[in-house]
Amino acid sequence: MSIRSITFSLLLAALAPAFAATVSFPDFHQAKQQAKTDNEPLLILWYGSDWMQDCASVVQAWEKFANDGKLPIVFGQYNDKTGQTSDERRKNQNEIGIEQYDLPAAVLLAPDGTLMATWNGKDVRKPEGLAKDVAALIPKAQQFMKLAATARDRGGVEGAQAAGAALKLIPYADARRHKELTGIINRKDPDNKTGMRALFAMDHQAMYKEINNILNGGPDGKLKDGARNFDEAARYVQATMRNSGIEKGNKALTETRQQWLAGLAYVYREKFKATKDEKDRKRLLDTLAACVKLNPKSQYGIGAAKYHHYWDPKSFTVIDNMFYNPGDQTHNFEKDWHVLVSKSMDGSGTYEFELVPRENGRLITRNFRLVVNGREVAKADAAPDKDTKKVTFKVPAVKKSDKVEVWLTAECRDGWFGCSGEIKMTKIR
């Protein structure tokens, strides 16, 4: 496979290999036209400009792959002085799926110029590994191109099915970002009959819109007086996961499975709030736990763990640094705090314990108890059912090794800034 020779202006000839012309980053459509002219895949390597410290080394590392002719490479330099407006640059960047700050970056195009995959940063700086990935995708380019063409030409679910089949040929992360083909799926199969919409084209906001439509009896909200179709919504999510293949699958599908598990947990949460049935709470907690188990470090895993903590009646929040922040809060329902005060104590005596909020966060607190080694030894002298910010405790003599805590019930009612502040402990006598 021969190296492409593109007749674009040389923007940084001193850094580019002598045989490779350069492409300015916004001129994506020119690169697409080159792929169509040659009727072969095209790999564009954008190596940045003089502001990117290692652009020369990136180009040099890829020289041998361009020289041996095994990969269809052209080199492109990012240049924001092309005369395009910021809106025009943004449009091109959105189509490509990368931005100036992602550089160095690589983009693989099918023979008709259709976007297949993108890579950036550390992947491009390791050409040996990336070259293998590109070489594995190139044999799929013709089939990908034909399926994409079918997706454009055919109507209804047939077009959506072809778009989904094309997306299955490329890396899953790229498939989810592929604006053209996911757009075709959304338009041609809005009811998700193929399962491709849930698999590739439905982000979490669209998913929640679908779920809420079912909960409320349709887009026009036919259900009145607070009635909602909880069971129908749960069946919709479960059927969608089965139909799209999300329920089981390879590691690449993990985050999408988590997305839909989060949707199912949302249904169970809403049902539990309405019914107060502990069976619904258990369904909620089990679904959140399954979401966390798939990948506790993803955005969905972290969020599911947080909500599991919120809704688990046996859980409590530990405050051990005398400072609380929005991440410690539950919003609009109560959770026990265990505040470690041993580090701040100065022997036995009478202590004043005060919560000092920041940014006027509306933290409602009550039911203060003094606890030593897990055993309650005193209650605050304030009424347990009142919003209390300051209490007094008589702390008995304890050993240095003893764990002294103040337990309280807290609820954050500030859904915008959250509740944060300082827990102050002052010895009165």
pLDDT of residue 182: 93
pLDDT of residue 358: 81
pLDDT of residue 292: 96
In the structure encoding, which two tokens stand for residue 302, read together? 């972290």
| Average pLDDT value for the chain | 81
pLDDT tier at 270, thresholds 50, 70, 90: very high
Alpha-carbon separation of residue 387 from 244, 365, 394, 412, 418 (angstroms): 49, 5, 21, 12, 17
pLDDT tier at 91, thresholds 50, 70, 90: low
pLDDT at 165 over 80: yes
pLDDT at 406 over 70: yes
In the structure encoding, which two tokens stand for residue 353, read together? 């314990």
pLDDT of residue 96: 62
pLDDT at 19 over 60: no
pLDDT of residue 169: 94
pLDDT at 68 over 50: yes
Specify the pairing of strand 115-120 against strand 105-109. Answer: antiparallel
Between CA 55 and CA 178 the distance in angstroms is 27
pLDDT at 25 over 50: no
For the stretch 330-377, pLDDT in tens is 777 788 999 999 888 888 899 999 888 887 778 888 889 999 999 999
Which H/E stretch holds residue 43? strand 42-46
pLDDT tier at 53, thresholds 50, 70, 90: low
Spatial contact of 379 and 368, defined as CB atoms under 8 Å apart: yes
Spatial contact of 170 and 177, defined as CB atoms under 8 Å apart: no
Query: pLDDT > 70: what percent of the chain?
Result: 81
Question: How remote is the C-alpha of 321 from its chain's centroid?
Answer: 29
Q: pTM of the prediction?
A: 0.73
pLDDT of residue 386: 74
Query: pLDDT > 90: what percent of the chain?
Result: 34
60-74, 257-271, 360-374: range with highest mean pLDDT? 257-271
The dihedral sign for the CA sequence 25, 26, 27, 28: positive
For the stretch 110-141, pLDDT in tens is 888 888 898 877 788 888 888 888 989 999 99
Q: In terms of Cα–Cα distance, which of 123, 105, 46 is closest to 77?
A: 46
pLDDT of residue 147: 96
Across the range 309-326, mean pLDDT stands at 88
pLDDT at 220 over 70: no
pLDDT at 13 over 50: no
